[in-house]
Amino acid sequence: MSATGVASETTTRGGLGDNVVRPDGVAKVQGSFAFSGDLTADGFLWGATLRSPHPYARIVRIDASGAWAIDGVECVLTASDVPGRATYGLISHDQPVFAHEYVRFEGEPIAAVAADHPETCRRALAAIVVEYEVLAPLTDAERAIDGSHPPIHPDGNVLRHQRIVRGDQSIVGPITVEGTYELGMQDQAFLGLEAALALPDPGGEGVELFVATQWLHEDRKQIAACLDLPEEKVRLTLGGVGGAFGAREDISLQVHCCLLALRSGRPVRMAYSRQESFRGHVHRHPGKVWMRHHADASGHIRRIEARFVLDGGAYASTSSAVLVNAITHTQGPYKCDNATVDGWAARTNNLPCGAMRGFGVVQACFAHEAQMDKLAAAVGIDPVEIRLRNAMETGDHLITGQVIESVAPVARAIRETAALPLPDEPVGGHDGDPMRLPGGAGLTADRGHIRRGIGWGVSIKNLMYSEGFDDYSTARVRLADGVASVKFATVEVGQGFVTIAGQIARSVLGVDDVVLETIDTKIGSAGSTSASRQTWMSGGAIDGACRLVRERLFENVAAAHDLDAVQLAIDGTDVVDTLGTLRVAVAEATAGVVIDETFEYHHRPTEDLDENGQGNCHTAFAFVAQRAVVDVDPELGLVKVVQIATAQDVGRALNPMSVVGQIEGGIAQGLGLAVMEEIVQVDGHVRNASFTDYLLPTFLDMPDVVISLIEEPDPMAPMGAKGVGEPPCIAATPAIVAAIRDAIGKDISRVPVRPGDICLTEVG
């Protein structure tokens, strides 16, 4: 893979803008990094969960006496054992800690056990008798919202309904294009499975939990409520996280693990299997999106009509926020003054859905980008031209009425992407390596069977939290003897915040040595590692704390040398007098001194949407353009993505190597949704809860990625840097599907694209 415009050298300074290597990188590659599943404690018990085999059933009776009777079983819990609030949830608490009266999805937890050995746990779970009255599951989101099915939950079958109405509703045509687009359920498929270790305080007055999560303080709040403990009695420390992508935002095993530890008085270790993980966390919303674009004869969008139906599954999780993200991004990165959008998030007996990289915008973008191509065809111009004609700029409005104040280099991203070189290799590669053809090692095709296509995906993505949420992050920086210690609760899920944190401290404070303290709840919240927000938010907090420390440092130096503090600056690892000759090393200036400051960074407030979907609900935006080149075997329906070229609006690349990692990883995930990743459910039963059958792209499925980073520092962002994690994954899916359409000349409207969708359907 090549990256243009990205320096490959690592400097020794390791400040902002350098390609600093991750502090945990070598340990991860060598296998010595302790992931959450590797944690252990003296005398620990294993915990395990009993799950519902039915998507929808009434629980008639639970008899756990058989489990208690097994030697080695120390604790068995069901719903009646939950001391505090019986339910949890990120936005509304509608999900039971253990199913009570009803089970609403296949895999819903019913009981938990702690025992001396995993095998004892397995037998204990098998010995718990649950009598069910099996009910017909509600699996069709349309039926959930049309009111024809009795409520499957006291809160009803509609998780949220929100409209957006803006401008002139009477506009029609003259050019109209329309389509219905469908997305399957994608799994985050992180490699480090859910795992935790809970240590009870003596006397059971509190609990310490080591866990792989995305947001320690939110977990703590929900755990404490369910355990009926004050929050300070629940202490969380981050266990090594092997990926998250949204799947660790919700509670999974946290409450179970803590409660087992408190009841047994022993440390308890829980770890999900892959099968269990598929049912143990929320997924990307499957959905149906209908859009109709009205445009003038030259292709300028005049009005958009749309209807979104997202299947939220059995419990609310973040469905209401995902829905708002989806509908508020209906127009994509294009100008549009008039719109009518109807959005629904439905409750069904399918697996619960919530956060996943892209958070609703993936669904919107797949639809609007297909629409842009249809519009281009209707007007008779090419896909690049239609996008340039409509490209949004700073100062334009969203259909919510919100003004885009962020830097918005949409046209530049499209032009720079178009200027990146197309692959120089012919179909099948230069040397006849079968791995370069669709079908790969399967030797299914010869060059002559293959057709090449090119497609575009351009996206806008909101950064940080929305709809009035007071989103903030806390950091504490302590400078002593030339060493900076940085404390934060920001979860490192693999994105590289631990690298950035050191870079910020080195740049702002002029130190070489930065110590990152344990990531836990002994400091204020950092918010969630999601929504592409941590570099901006927690980066902003560390930057703020470092600046406070630096002020104090300058005051000290100024006092010692009889200077005015405002004339001092950091140059490399020295404090220098900008108006004179003084130069003193930071290490020397801080010998025997301790400066300690804490800073809380808040982004600017946002508003709720009104009933017409109007309001400044988002904070900031990032943009990306991608061009996909794919080779397709039209007769077998197999696809090989050859190249993705992309120009991404990153504000400022604080660590270019890390940014490239996010772009490549995001493209892999978008590729997965485009051509292979889907949790298949039949009547609410999951059919492929394993990596044998839930296919993820491997290294051999990855295309070459050619990258151009657009660095226009955003004045609103603390260091000019925008979030970079989500945009690449959003644009890749529509770009790849557009390229498949281009190769075969058929209208494909569902992802993942299955071979039969390519070769067994008529030309559209």
Partner 1 sequence: MPTTSVTVPRTLSDALRVLADSPDATVLAGGTDLMVELNSGHRGATDVVVVNRIGELCTWQHNPQLGTLHLGAGITYSEIEQSPIAGWVPALAQAARTVGSPQIRHAATIGGNLGTCSPAGDGLPVLCALEAQIHLASAAGERTLPFADFMVGPKRTARVPGELITGVTVPVLPGWQGYSKVGVRNAMVIAVASSALVVDQEQQGVRLALGSVGPVILRCPEAEALVAAEGDFQSSRIRSTVVAQFAELARRAARPIDDHRSTAEYRRHAVGILAARQLRRAFPNE
Please give the residue ranges that form the binding site for partner 1 (CB under 8 A). Answer: 119, 122, 275, 435, 438-446, 449, 635-638, 640, 675-676, 680, 682, 687-688, 690, 692-693, 695, 697-698, 700-701, 754-756, 759-760
Q: What are phi and psi of 451, to 5 degrees?
A: -120, 140
- Tell me the C-alpha distance between 265 and 200, whole Å: 6
The amino acid that residue 532 corresponds to is S
The residue (of 378 and 696) whose beta carbon lies closer to partner 1 is: 696
Is the bond preceding 174 in cis, omega lying within 30 degrees of 0? Answer: yes
Least gap, CB of 428 to partner 1 (angstroms)? 13
- Tell me the C-alpha distance between 332 and 413, whole Å: 14
688 Cβ contact partners less than 8 Å away, ≥ 6 residues apart: 678, 679, 680, 694
The residue (of 189 and 418) whose beta carbon lies closer to partner 1 is: 189
Least gap, CB of 328 to partner 1 (angstroms)? 34
Q: Which two tokens stand for residue 293?
A: 């674009």
The residue (of 446 and 555) whose beta carbon lies closer to partner 1 is: 446
Least gap, CB of 63 to partner 1 (angstroms)? 22
Least gap, CB of 55 to partner 1 (angstroms)? 16
- Tell me the C-alpha distance between 262 and 457, whole Å: 51
The residue (of 52 and 402) whose beta carbon lies closer to partner 1 is: 52
Least gap, CB of 676 to partner 1 (angstroms)? 5
Least gap, CB of 123 to partner 1 (angstroms)? 10
Least gap, CB of 475 to partner 1 (angstroms)? 42
The residue (of 23 and 634) whose beta carbon lies closer to partner 1 is: 634
The residue (of 464 and 632) whose beta carbon lies closer to partner 1 is: 632
Least gap, CB of 300 to partner 1 (angstroms)? 40
**CA-based nearest residue to 557, from 607, 515, 604, 591:** 591
SS3 call for 305:
strand
The residue (of 465 and 694) whose beta carbon lies closer to partner 1 is: 694
- Tell me the C-alpha distance between 322 and 312, whole Å: 9
The residue (of 231 and 691) whose beta carbon lies closer to partner 1 is: 691
The residue (of 613 and 637) whose beta carbon lies closer to partner 1 is: 637
The residue (of 194 and 471) whose beta carbon lies closer to partner 1 is: 194
- Tell me the C-alpha distance between 607 and 694, whole Å: 39
**Tokens 């204990």 belong to residue:** 124
Sheet holding 129-134, edge to edge: 102-103, 57-63, 129-134
Contact predicate 144/157, CB 8 Å:
yes
Q: What are phi and psi of 594, to 5 degrees?
A: -125, 120
Least gap, CB of 439 to partner 1 (angstroms)? 7
- Tell me the C-alpha distance between 165 and 162, whole Å: 10
Least gap, CB of 636 to partner 1 (angstroms)? 6
- Tell me the C-alpha distance between 400 and 462, whole Å: 13
> How many CB atoms within 10 Å of residue 328?
28
Least gap, CB of 760 to partner 1 (angstroms)? 6
Contact predicate 644/733, CB 8 Å:
no
Least gap, CB of 674 to partner 1 (angstroms)? 12
The residue (of 562 and 762) whose beta carbon lies closer to partner 1 is: 762
Q: Which two tokens stand for residue 750?
A: 């569902």
Contact predicate 452/743, CB 8 Å:
yes
> How many CB atoms within 10 Å of residue 700?
10
The residue (of 443 and 763) whose beta carbon lies closer to partner 1 is: 443
Q: Each residue of 91-105: b (16+ CB within 10 Å) or e? A: bebbbbbbbbebbbb
- Tell me the C-alpha distance between 220 and 535, whole Å: 23
Could you give the C-alpha distances from 382 to 1, 180, 303, 460, 549, in angstroms and in order? 28, 22, 21, 21, 54
